[in-house]
Structure 1
């Protein structure tokens, strides 16, 4: 992370703060931010522990033996800072956790098998060891924005930029080591659509390629056999004792930095992926474009647009005109605001046709009431709805941006309408009388609502006191407790329904938090009989202790009489089902593989890593939601059957959705986590093939997807599953084999989700799956 000053220099030279340099950290060891303690590597090069961040502290790794203590890794970087009274423990159970004085402990590093010891290595890698001194967890496997010498960025691993120099949460940009051997930089929100803006030009180099940084400052790509495919930069001519790091910065540019004992405290840039700071796609928000001013990037708005926020111009622009073209009003005229020399990513163009002239392109946009903008370039006309995205200046100046505006500013020849004075006077008089009536009515309503609000406030305060005494659930979870009336107001009396499932209905709402207003999803649980109440209580206890970037986060709940409601983070991009089966834009192969891995990691956490093991029981695309950074997150897991630590299986009635449930549901057999593995396998095939698991309007042999997949695999024709896509058979076959293992009829034959991740990442070999027994009985 670029240039983050972490500690006061007076701290560095205070002998009272000298740190032990022990290579082994035993269970029971702990650190506190208040006494400035941390664990050093043997040479003192790196330190692990708390460092000051924001209004508190984060846990991370930094260069300790240089004055500017630059952070190279942060745990749980998107979480809020810890307070000064938190403690970092390597527990006797072998889990690395932070324990605040209030609330639940936060997992920093944990594995299924307890760690016997830990160490901060001189390589910059913090590791957990088992009793045989084997590494069972390491920070190198979970990079943030930086790699250091001897660290590898392996297949499907990514570095994410910071938000800014002072905010090290995950930012707008990433660099990905892809399975095709290409190292590519993307804007986070457009990875699935392949909008890269820099790459190593090694596409097709094969699976298993990794990015490496050596001690002499050389960035290079190496294949699985250890052969160096290409060098990213020239070897650096070092002076004195020099250290290096490679970081994707908040501005979206990947840079190699050096720091020498012969130079000042600052890091020097040895290489960068671009010299033009406007190159990163997505640096500027919607309807804005990037221009260079004295070498620095500045976001600007097109004509007739204004900044959403003048103080934060990178957020984008909004139009300052109204356009009402699809209401059937045929008396409205239109003109165009025209700008030459801007380019936009036109992936959301709904109409693309050959147009011999720009005038023809304009005319077609006028006739189409859905058209809000058109891009004309070399006899190509693309019609779009706003917003425009990923704008930048076009050096060739061949693209003409036509923004459709109303006729009030139309130029000559557009036929301005003349308004009759008598109609204008009558309209104004009518408007004034209507306005006066509305003002009087509004005053009456406000007075009534004020009295009602005061009464409700008193009632809610009384109910809050009662709940603090009687509601034992609040002791089990570190979540916000809402009253029913609060959530009723937040959802405008449950007016905006955004989804419906087996357990209840979901509504969009707005709540107030410490940073202002926040959009949330409120699930109104409709099963309030004994079984439903038990599920609700279990969910409170379980979700309050789960936290993973691939799980939809629960923010609060309502336990108010017979009313049971859950408050979740709002996922504005909808479900995976919307992306796969409804969107006109098809997610590319790399994006689909990443979604599969996101889901696998979330399930692995539920099955093996969280404190209370959870079986989801209803894995399907509708229960996978997409966040604004392109992550896939598992929803509805809190309503699943829970396994307590002493349980390994559970008998229960059939849950889940037809087409995704494992065979053991129908045979009254014990249900284990392997039921989720089966559902995951079915959904993997849907993601690969971009279709439902059962479809009627296809040839008979293709109607049941899992059967068709197996037929294609057996006939060595897997390419039929992804028609019109350029994917190497080896990658496709690997993914298909994982799905076939997951959908084995016998639960014991299916791999664990941890094994699934290893197979998908190419870490382990995948044997050919056996014949599925379901084929032996299928008609």
Structure 2
């Protein structure tokens, strides 16, 4: 064989060997992915390849391959996108590192940070991309360099955090980070711009974080947390399933571009990601979400809006969901000499620089106008405290606080309606003609209004609406109008904690319920401002507020009339029996209404008085929660409110009685107590069952919840269900309701679920595990001693299984005795 032929054959063999090694990904310089080719994990769950969120930027990422919705869990070159897919490659460098390269680019767009060389790359079924040494040891893995997603099997440490995408269309690092909180690293926190913490998980209890009770649900995942006080502390989780024979559901955590930590599970039935929980639940609590001068609202399709007279700083970013650059004045100049201040009301905000001093509102305005960097001010008329805000105005959100305490926020805007010196005389003439026509038309309108007393009153209400623009959805009544509508307040429907309720009828024959408040806080303007908060809250499971009266010393609220009265009217043996279908509908409807108040309103509203008397039933037997916001409206002096709320101590959470500041979990507790009454068709405190008095005195009262909770935990739900149903109920739904009720009345508030989770449990979206038995409910009725009822009954037997309350008095005003049920439309 000639020498040239030998050289040619050797070259062919070398090329063939190189191709084989390149295909196996084991040779230095090997190309693993080119262009739109991909690599799948062994079971086909995950896929590695290049992707694009727009048509001119490409990223190497890992996504779920087994689901139809493109969901990326890891991105390599998130800071350095590739511009040309055809020339993009993923390969192995001469030093055994993974590298992303674009043809024509002198350097690497991205490369792995392994210190040891590798010879193999594998995409595991967990979604972890690993590099292996010759000895098959992992020398680098993507799980050590997470982006915005936390997968089962991935550990987060003090050096390993999640960073959100910049927007839904931009994988580059965003402003929000989930990290272990220094210096103890015993809890997680969400931070803005690596500095401002706006949510914390609370400390680890051994099976959950104190601020995330949803983590106690064991069937989706199981967490493990190394010693948090060690420098090497790590936190991770694995997927689990109730049935060991079933494959656990896909689940993931993600810090989304809008700053919320989301926990998702995949539903194969709906082929969609279900949100299991999210924190913070109110998106407007995310720091810096809307940028400077951007207003956050949870009621609109998108969370951020610009104030009147302002426009987005970055129109393209704003459209794609990146609101971080905030808003700017529509005029090109940052300020003008004739700027004015527009009142925004009681608002929460953070200013870049806030200068505080005492002075009148005019002096406050003058000081702000003297500096072009001043963007607004806050002034409190009662304390004369002035705050001038310079630079940026972040986290603008509506508050339901008392303006006498918080102060009113004003933002600096361009003056409107000022005639400039260069306006032509013809334009001035046209404006004069238009103005004259407007004046003439207004004069005619006034004459027509004064022709009728009814029109005169309507005009008065319109004037009130102009003074308070947010009241446009409400009608402002005069006291005389409501006196006529209720026939002199003659038909009393009931009496709640805040006042009496009367039946009325408007001139158009609309039936209404009029609540006459016995106590009120604030003056005219403050009362109207507070009513605005309640009046703008609309939900199918909340009683609609039609209007109000703030006439002299009279304070009245006008609601829709509920023809079927309160739930309490159906919790006696001598009242009509509710079918199971109606009961279950009431349970879910009530839960949805309370969850809306807690989690979906612009500001969280704690009801403070959930009980059957405040759950009203409409003509279709749908539940409507009433009295929401009244604790805030009246003034949340808890000690006074409790002392005058007759018969509601059985619904008050332990932490409230002990003097600890309450949270939404106080409402959860009250809902759990109400749920037990709905399930059993009886009041929680009543005379002992026949034949089960155990020799007690006649003043003794039987306390239903301790006995019911014990039966439920032991699996005997049928013993608790109202016997009037006669077995005509859905046993699966009844068991669900019973277990949820016991979870809600747990002693520790951090163990109780949120109302959002309660809704999911009741609907069957979330499995409800067996709860531990609560131990403190015996002390929540009157503070008196409790005695076990001897003997047995149809409700079960055994010593302490039945509890008796020694009533301190036989009158209905005793704290341990519920107010009389069936007394009408009590709100």
Structure having the higher Rg: 2
Is this a same-fold pair by TM over 0.5? no
| Bin of the TM-score, shorter chain as denominator length | 0.3 to 0.5
Q: Provide TM-score, normalisation by structure 1.
A: 0.39
Q: Provide TM-score, normalisation by structure 2.
A: 0.37
